[in-house]
Structure 1
């Protein structure tokens, strides 16, 4: 196969999300990977085109039309190449060894292609969250559900469903979030403090309050931002004070929650015709 064309496109970054060593997005028209290994788990979805790859002397294929994800274990040689003249577009997560136990390596080698529409959808949601570096808590939450489903596919123990302790854990997590609106809390820290598996903790919270904890935290920050804006705070200052990364991060969530930008909201505290904002 010829050399890589110059119109290939690659984006790569390391997010501030525990467990994810690298995010890698690529569009290759003509590319072949030589045999190599990674020291991480490789989790890939193909959005367009098709990829052919070899793993442990067996060849496999993944297409953008499949409801599939590809999981390659660390330390196992594999290669990869374009399977069609149109090339392929893929999104890859390189996951630390801590995300999945190495005892699952053999199962992953035997079954690297996971046909699972929900898993693929959740991986896509995780990539979307990772595209915004400010939403670390949401990314952690989505990674927890991806990891749980990967474990289920590889015959690992499933996480318990919410039971009688759901309300107790939900209240405890809510108290943590209420106490740390501005600084936030990492999902793994909350799980350690409450002695609960991350996905079990999220399910308990959603079962009790009807929304995921990261959405609840964003709502708290928006409410606090509204009060500060109406008290005369500058949007840029308010953004960091309530826990958003910067003003753009505040703007994105504020518009979705309130229907206007922070600057416009604060410009007329009484709202049109004397009616206060909702």
Structure 2
């Protein structure tokens, strides 16, 4: 019986979200990275296993799913498996518009962050990046992650929504309503309203009780319901209300209403039921 070779599985892509140069999902069982550097920040979470790595000639180890690893640009590092089962990781390669190079020293001093909130936010961002059409959500989640990382690197303190919260939230809601079909990026909204992206998100959530990407999706679902009950085809409805494609509509519609757009449309005109 022939020996089984090392099991390595990799999925990598470049998303259309400003600041993210690359996304990498990988499972390594018998692999060692040689010493190398990147031009980007490497933001990594483990889904299973353990990893041993050196950063600037100091060795570190990480095990389990509770920690976040942040490797800065321009600093030599390596990486290797620790056990026979290897490790599974998800990595975001972030450019220096997300974190400036001036924070490299702080990251070298403490590349492992024990922060469950940050870890959860990174997981949510990976989920959004894996779904075509959720770029606005991904951009919003990246903004919150950036804020949390800067907090850890002692370069930022959260700005609480002030007296302008309601005004900014109302202006953002009006902007989202006007761009329901065409969509808008968080960066563009921030430029139009002259407010930091993370501050916009916090003001909106404080005022309306949900983040702006959730509000936008809900508005699109409401409009989709009306068009489906008017007899429009789900594929046409998806484009009409701003979803990326029919699969994008199906995913969010089913999560909101517990049924697919096609089934919802098929039930129209049935009258009241018990």
Normalising by structure 1, report the TM-score. 0.94
The total of aligned residue pairs comes to: 270
Q: CA deviation at 1:233?
A: 1.1
Q: Are residues 6 and 57 of structure 1, via their aligned partners in 2, closer, same or farther at CA, if it must alter by over 3 Å? A: closer
Question: Counterpart of 1:216 in 2: which secondary structure?
Answer: helix
Question: Which segment is superposed worse, 72-81 or 225-234?
Answer: 225-234
RMSD, aligned CA: 1.4
Q: For the Cα contact (< 8 Å) 1:5–1:29, is it kept in 2?
A: no
Question: Which segment is superposed worse, 171-180 or 154-163?
Answer: 154-163
Q: For the Cα contact (< 8 Å) 1:255–1:261, is it kept in 2?
A: yes
**Aligned equivalents of 2:82 and 2:258: distance in 1?**
46
Aligned twin of 2:75:
76
**Aligned equivalents of 1:24 and 1:63: distance in 2?**
19
Aligned twin of 1:224:
223
Q: For the Cα contact (< 8 Å) 2:25–2:90, is it kept in 1?
A: yes
Alignment of structure 1 residues 18-167 onto 2, 5 Å: 18-65=18-65, 67-167=66-166
**Aligned equivalents of 1:42 and 1:101: distance in 2?**
13
Q: CA deviation at 1:156?
A: 0.8
Q: CA deviation at 1:263?
A: 1.2
**Aligned equivalents of 1:243 and 1:181: distance in 2?**
6
2:254 pairs with 1:275? no
Question: Counterpart of 1:163 in 2: which secondary structure?
Answer: coil
Question: Which segment is superposed worse, 224-233 or 160-169?
Answer: 224-233
Q: For the Cα contact (< 8 Å) 1:16–1:133, is it kept in 2?
A: no
Task: Write the deviation string for residues 125-149 of structure 1: whole angstroms up to 9, x where unpaired.
Answer: 1111111122111111111111100
Task: Write the deviation string for residues 4-39 of structure 1: whole angstroms up to 9, x where unpaired.
Answer: 944211111111111111110111011100011111
Unmatched runs of 5 consecutive residues or more in structure 1: none
Q: For the Cα contact (< 8 Å) 1:5–1:30, is it kept in 2?
A: no
Unmatched runs of 5 consecutive residues or more in structure 2: none
Task: Write the deviation string for residues 227-272 of structure 1: whole angstroms up to 9, x where unpaired.
Answer: 211222111011011111111111111122223211122223224x
Normalising by structure 2, report the TM-score. 0.95
**Aligned equivalents of 1:99 and 1:179: distance in 2?**
28
**Aligned equivalents of 2:228 and 2:116: distance in 1?**
43
Q: For the Cα contact (< 8 Å) 1:138–1:214, is it kept in 2?
A: yes
**Aligned equivalents of 2:7 and 2:232: distance in 1?**
47
Task: Write the deviation string for residues 97-147 of structure 1: whole angstroms up to 9, x where unpaired.
Answer: 110011101111111111111111111111111111221111111111111
Q: CA deviation at 1:275?
A: 2.4
**Aligned equivalents of 1:147 and 1:5: distance in 2?**
39
Question: Counterpart of 2:47 in 1: which secondary structure?
Answer: strand
